[in-house]
Amino acid sequence: MAMTKKKPAAKPILSGKPKRALRPYHHGDLRASLIAATEAIILERGVNGFTLREAARRAGVSPAAPAHHFGDATGLLSEVATLGFKDFGAALRAADEAGGDPGERLYRQGIAYVKFALDNPARFLLMFREARLDPTHEGLAEAGRDSFLTLENAIRALMGLPNEGELTPEAYGALMAGWSIVHGFAHLALAGEFDAAAGARGGQGAILESFLPLALRYLPHPDATRASAKK
């Protein structure tokens, strides 16, 4: 009986990698897990509800682990914002490439802009919450700039300008007006300012399906230069 010492309930006879299956020392894809956790947290609790510790907790990892991948909280949020801008830019580009005359391209981008914000509220708000982002983050500024280039180019086409060179003051005005209207609409919708009206007129779907098209009639278009109210 030298070496028997039987453990009654028996370990798996030979399950391949029992130990690793139970608790691997390395996570495997911590980077992606932390990003997913962060997106979930800001969706549930808002951007301010995010903490690095909570993200680590959800990824099943110690509080010091995220530093290896993102440095600090700002670094992780900046990465999430960067990915958001990339999706955002892709959505605008897809809308633009759906074709049509410049007015239609701009209109479609406006729809896409607001739709992205309403479909991705937490990411959208994070993308513009500078205080929580690292301005030196690799790729963030560029992803942001890229998104708006599609918008700018549609305005240039609308005003008969090439994609390079200075914008005329009129074109600047049109760009700012177009950007402001979709950005403002998105923020007001996310703040719930249209909820009461939508409730009375067909539910929340009315915001995208009915209100937005009505509001986007006021997007810049070639013959919209306003004479009145301009001193």
Residues within the interface to a second copy (CB under 8 A): 46, 48, 101, 103-104, 106-107, 128, 130-131, 169-170, 172-174, 176-188, 191-194, 197, 210-211, 213-221, 224-226, 228-230
Using CB under 7 A as the binding rule, whether residue 132 contacts DNA is answered as no
Using CB under 7 A as the binding rule, whether residue 32 contacts DNA is answered as no
Q: Which is nearer to a second copy, 65 or 111 (by Cβ)?
A: 111
**Which of 58, 1, 2 lies closest to 30 in space, CA to CA?**
58
Q: Within 5-139, where are the H helices?
A: 18-22, 30-45, 52-59, 67-70, 73-97, 102-119, 121-127
Q: Which is nearer to DNA, 80 or 182 (by Cβ)?
A: 80
Contact 66, 76 (CB under 8 A): yes
Q: Could you say which residues in the range 39-78 bind DNA, by CB under 7 A?
A: 51-54, 60-65, 67-69, 72-73
Q: How far is the CB of 91 from a second copy (least distance, A)?
A: 18
CB atoms within 10 A of CB 145: 12
Considering only 3, 11, 13, 25, the residue that binds DNA (CB under 7 A) is 25
**Which of 112, 113, 105 lies closest to 154 in space, CA to CA?**
105
